Chain A
Amino acid sequence: MDAGSVILRKCLRALLTLWIVVSLTFVVLRSAGDPAIVILGSDATPAMIDAFHHQWGLDQPLPIQYVVYFAHILHGDFGSSFLDSRPALTVVAERIPRTLQLSGLGLLLMLCIGIPAGVAAALNRGRALDRVIVAASVMGHSVPSFFLAILLILLFSVRWRLLPSGGAEAAHTIIMPAITIAAGGTGVIARFTRAAMLDALRQPFVRAVQARGVGWPRVIRGHVMPNAAIPTVTMIGFLLGGLVAGAVITETVFAWPGIGWLIVTSVARRDLAVVQCIVLLVASTMVLANLIVDLLYVWLDPRMRAPAPEDA
């Protein structure tokens, strides 16, 4: 089996997952109670409820509702916001760039700090530097993000008055939310990179490559790191998928006008079309992130291109 068919299979699998996500969203939102009562209130008259049902197609049998829902989604129609009647997609789309800015910067920080820290810890295993890095990364991913966010605000905004406590008006307002988002991921990446490096360093080929006269720095860069990259990439993929979802708390605390904040306000206002749109978006990011990881795998690990036959 060649690389092409592996990639094709992975893409098909991603599409299948997306379909399951779309269907599950349908089931969950339909089983979470009658939206008419949620929107109109429990004292609404039966006539008002019927009218609402008719307006949103909720009086149709479920299979038909599903087909209509699915057809709409395929056409990029996620319904309209129950509140201001603008298409839900438009409402969500105008917030996307803000979230991308924030999670992009957060991811960049995670990678730029986490990977070198993990590599440095592995190469200095057991020494002071290793212990400091391990301790710092445990702290990084065990401090809850809302706590870190409030701590940062207390220090930098309230006490020292260096940074604004929220909003997105000036460029430097992004600093604190980005640090909050990055802290946990950096710790996880550092620890994981360290473990992957140690594992690769233990492989017999490391000694064999040295025996061929290859110098230590080149052994690390050219042989150990490419092997350690394989498990690390998987883990980063999972982090990537969770970034948008993880932004919910941070964006809310720092009043950052992104998707995370939007979903919190939409849930509070029972704006189901917007919630549904965001859920689908977040789920798709996860699926996409996993697909990218799978494809990176094929590129990084030649053993993935031709899986060994399994026993019966």
Chain B
Amino acid sequence: MSEAALLELRDLSVRFHTPEGVVEAVSGIDLTVRAGEILGLVGESGSGKSATCLAVMGLLGPRGETTGELRFQGRLIGADAARLRGHGIGMIFQEPRASLNPVFTIGHQLREVLALHRPDLTASAAADEASALLHRVGLPAPERQLRAYPHEISGGMAQRVAIALALAAQPRLLLADEPTTALDVTVQAQVLELLLRLRDETELAIVLVTHDLGIVARYADRVSVMRAGKVVEQASVQTLFAQPTHTYTRQLLDALPRMTERVAQVEAVPATPLLRVSGLTRHFVPRRRPFRRATPPLRAVDGVSFDIAAGETLALVGESGCGKSTTALMVAGLLGHTAGRIEFAGRDLATSSETQRRALRRELQIVLQDPGEALDPRLSCGTQVTEPLLIHRTGGNRQQRRETVRATLRSVGLDDWVIDRRPHEISGGQRQRVALARALVLQPRMLVLDEPTSALDVSIQAQVIDLLSRLQRERGLAYLFISHDLRLVLRIAHRVAVVYLGRIVELAEPAQLFAMPRHPYTKALLSAVPEPDPAQRGHQRILLPGEPPNPTAVAAGCRFRQRCALALPICAQVDPTLGQTSHDQAHQVACHVAQGTA
């Protein structure tokens, strides 16, 4: 690794001229990127990470303005930033599919970049180079991918294509702006390993912009921490994690859920479960269209059973499309089920009368992922928290209702001033508290929490989690907690169910699951989560090949077998059922190999 600075920023400021006035996104930062290194640029949303990258690319747009000094390979970049784009510095973005032009094939887009940066290539040499590039970023069957349109490939594949497009121009530096935030954890691991490999092969320097300290710990050489437009700390990755000097860095590190420590204490769980779900199934049957062959049903949830006691948190964890949110919606009564039973407090929801169901609804509330979308933008927060009381004709007179709403808002840590605010006038964390208050105002016994913190920054996320734990202790609430974030789930859940393609493949207490994962999918999932500890960088990682298959084409036998390294002949024939392992009564797994039935 050479010590020469490839990119140097001195006193860089970025300002945006908006109708409301001038906003300073970056205020006088110094930053150096050396050839062949991976610099992690971390910070929460709005800290100026993306604006810094766009300033380097000269892509701030007509409203952006840059002051300070930008040097690439020792030469000043000014108005000629466009000259370096692609060839000197490449960039990839957060939404991989959105960064490809939807109306052209991948081959067309690759050939365009090749024609631009490598005019010496003949048409046929360019075609060969295009497929070589796709091969290099690990895409199977490059010839077929060249003819595909962006909407025909998955998000993970789209990010590989975006990387290939950046590489086509042979840059010395790659700015990767949250390249894996929109991807699932196993796919994230694949993409990050690819970036690491490219760095090792070609001395490509990479600026890895992320909000995830785990990714930084595992992949970066040096780290710059940004907050409110300033770089507050800059150090090698080992130093930063071992001895963070700035308070903000320490806060960030403390707020981070780690798998190696657990906060939630398992308490004695009452014998009778509050919620009992058995064989829950939901198939989506595509509408039959004229002149088309009938398509097989999409098996979103395919036989899920679990129970939750009062005061207990059961987490459903899995990657996108595994059926965890569909399960949440069915339990909350917002989506009908194809088969199975949902019993709440001993009553079957499906056979209850409308009045009974209404009463049950009061006791079982749901909180959704994005509070910005789950709250009505036109109603004040107070009105929205009051609304459930009106719907269920409860809460006494106007004065009493107002008191209840105030008390509920206070219990989630909000002042009275939010009552008259509209959702857009308060912060994301406060919005999620309002959504929580809306669910709590009816004094439910159970909450379904569908990714309640994934739209929030890490520090806010930690506060909301603490709040949820406190409310659970105070009110004896049962939680069905849906998440894609294993680190988070291990910290707050009493029991964790790992979901794959509409089925629970493993169910255990967090300590067991983390220390002794039995199912190969759980093992891969745990291994894919980057732990915020640079000391674990050398650990052997299990990289799952491919992406979860399409839930319309569930194969016979074990659903995981096509991606499983341990698959045996029996796995292709017999669908394994969730059963106890010989070691532990509470630890259940659906795997022939782990159960020892093979």
Contacts and interface: CB of A to CB of B under 8 A. Distances in A.
B102 interface: yes
Contacts of B539: none
A251 B102 CA distance: 43
Given A5-B291, A302-B149, A311-B284, A211 B103 contact: no
Given A205-B99, A207-B93, A212 B113 contact: yes
A129 B152 CA distance: 40
B226 interface: no
A204 B93 CA distance: 9
Interface stretch (A102-110, A164-172, A223-231): A223-231
A5 to B, nearest CB: 7
A300 B104 CA distance: 9
Contacts of B295: 309
Contacts of B54: 207
Contacts of A311: 284, 286
Given A8-B291, A211-B59, A302 B90 contact: no
Given A211-B57, A302-B149, A310-B286, A227 B85 contact: no
A260 to B, nearest CB: 37
Interface string A291-307: 00000000011110010
Nearest to A306: B152
Interface string A212-251: 1111000000110011001000000000000000000000
A213 B98 contact: no
A146 to B, nearest CB: 41
A90 to B, nearest CB: 39
B169 interface: yes
A227 B291 contact: no
Contacts of A210: 57, 59, 82, 85
Contact of B103 (A9, A209, A301): A301
Interface in B34-54: 54
Contact of A211 (B90, B101, B291): B90
B151 A302 contact: yes
A303 B295 CA distance: 19
Contacts of A222: 112
A205 B169 contact: no
Given A212-B90, A309-B286, A205 B116 contact: no
A226 B109 CA distance: 13
Nearest to B117: A213
Contact count band on A = 20 to 34
Nearest to A1: B292
B91 A312 contact: no
B90 to A, nearest CB: 7
A30 B219 CA distance: 79
B183 to A, nearest CB: 16
Contact of B149 (A303, A309, A310, A312): A303
B211 to A, nearest CB: 18
Interface residues of B, number: 42
B98 A214 contact: no
Contact of A212 (B86, B95, B149): B86
A226 B95 CA distance: 21
Interface string B11-30: 00000000000000000000
Nearest to A8: B291
Contacts of B85: 210-213
Contacts of A204: 93, 95, 98-99
A214 B149 CA distance: 20
A306 B166 CA distance: 28
A74 interface: no
A303 B100 CA distance: 13
A303 B151 contact: yes
Contacts of B100: 205, 208
A308 to B, nearest CB: 8
Contact of A312 (B87, B90, B112, B286): B286
A302 B149 CA distance: 7
A203 interface: yes
Interface of A: 1, 5, 8-9, 12, 203-205, 207-215, 222-223, 226-227, 230, 300-303, 306, 309-312
Interface of B: 54, 57, 59, 82, 85-87, 90-93, 95, 98-105, 112-113, 116-117, 149, 151-152, 162, 165-166, 168-169, 284-287, 290-292, 295, 298, 552
15 contacts: A203-B98, A205-B101, A207-B54, A208-B91, A208-B93, A208-B99, A212-B113, A212-B166, A226-B101, A226-B103, A302-B151, A309-B286, A309-B295, A309-B298, A312-B284
